Amino acid sequence: MTLAIIVHGGAKTITEDKVEANHAGCLAAVEAGWAVLTAGGSAGEAVEAAIRVLEADPTFNAGFGSTLNTAGEVEVDAAIMEGAKLGWGGVAAVKGVRHPISVARMIMDEKPRLLVAHSAERFAADNGAEMCAKEDLIADEPLQEWKEEQEVVDRPNTVGCVALDASGTLVAGTSTGGTTNQPPGRVGDTALVGCGLYADNQLGACSTTGDGESIIPVVLAKTAINFLAGDRHPDEAAQKAIDTLKSKVEGEAGCILLDRQGRVGWTYNSQDMAVAYMTAELGKPVVFTKKEAERLEKLEDGKFTPDQLVERLGMNRVAGSGQEALSEA
C-alpha cells in the first residue's frame, strides 16, 4: 500500500510578506507526518504529528497564534476521523489546551464524541494533555490586531491534514482558532464530522477550511468525498465540492483530499491557500500557496499534458498570441 500525506494552512488571502512563513510551516508539518508514516506509524499518528506542528506555529490560526474572540481570548476547536471504522473525536470552544488535535485523538481512541468548553478541558487535563494558561496561546500579532480592531486580511483560517498509511487507513484532522472577534462559544465547521472533515477507506478523506457558516450547510467534507465515487480524481472531486458551495451559499472555502489510492487533490475559492504534500512517487515534499503554481510545475515536469490538466482540473483551453493557456472553467 502506498503512503501519502497532505496538509493545509488555511484558505484565505496570504500577503507576499507571509508566503515564506506559510511555505516553511506547511513543509515542516508535512515532513513531521511523513516521518511517522515512513517509520511504520499510523495515519492517525501522522495527522496528529503534522497538525501539532501547525498548532505551535503562530503563522497559522490554530493553537498558539489563534485569532481572538470578542472577549480577547483564544478558544480552539479540533477534530479527527479515521476511515476504517468511521471513528472520530472532537473538541470545541476550549481554552488553555495547547494541542487540541491531540485531545481530539484521545477522544476518538476512547469513545467517539464531541466535547465542548469545560467538559473538553476537564477531559484534556484528566488524560494528560498539554495544558497551559489561556493567555499562553495569544501571539503578538493577533493580540495587536484585536487591540486596534484591525481588519484582518491575511491570517489563514484553520489548518488540517489527511494521511494514508501502509495498512490502507485514511485519517483526516482539522484544527482552528475560529474567526476574528467571534462571540465566545461560537463553533464553526472544524469539529463537525462531514463539514470540517471526513474519512472513509472506501473512498477517501478530506479536511476543509474557510467560512464555517458557509461550509456547514453544504456539508463540504462529505460532499467532496461523495464526488470521489466512480474513481473520480481527488482534484476534480475537490473542485466539484467547492463549485457546489459557490452555487448554494456565499463564502470562501478550500479542501484537501486523498483517495484510497493515495492520489492528491485540493482547491479553494479564496485568493490563496497554503498546501504541502508528499507521496511515495515524489522525491521530496512540495508546497504551494496558489493552485496555478502546482499546475505549472506539473506541466514543466511532464507529469501531465495540457489536455490532461483540462480534463482533471475542469479547465478550458484559451487561445491567444499564438500560444495556448489554461484558464479556470
119-148 residue pLDDT tens = 999 999 999 999 999 999 999 888 888 888
pLDDT band at 5 (very low <50, low <70, confident <90, very high): very high
What is residue 148's predicted lDDT score, i.e. its pLDDT?
82
How far is residue 195's CA from residue 212's CA, in Å, rounded to a whole number? 8
pLDDT on residue 315: 45
Examine the residue annotation and report whether 158 is marked as an active-site residue of this protein.
Answer: yes
Q: How confident is the model at residue 43 (pLDDT cuts 50, 70, 90)?
A: very high
Cell 485540493, residue located: 266
C-alpha closest to that of 104 among 67, 77, 133: 77
Bridge pairing between strands 88-94 and 197-200? unpaired
Tally the residues of the chain.
329
Return d(Cα 142, Cα 245) in angstroms, integer. 29
Under the banding of pLDDT at 50, 70 and 90, the label for residue 157 is confident
14-31 as b/e, with b when 16 or more CB fall inside 10 Å? beeebeebbbebbbbbbb
Catalytic residue among 59, 67, 158, 289: 158
Residue 318: pLDDT over 70: no
pLDDT tens, residue by residue, 258-290: 999 999 999 999 999 999 999 999 999 999 999
Each domain of the chain, given as residue ranges in start order, spans: 4-289, 292-329
Please name the CATH architecture into which domain 4-289 falls. 4-Layer Sandwich (3.60)
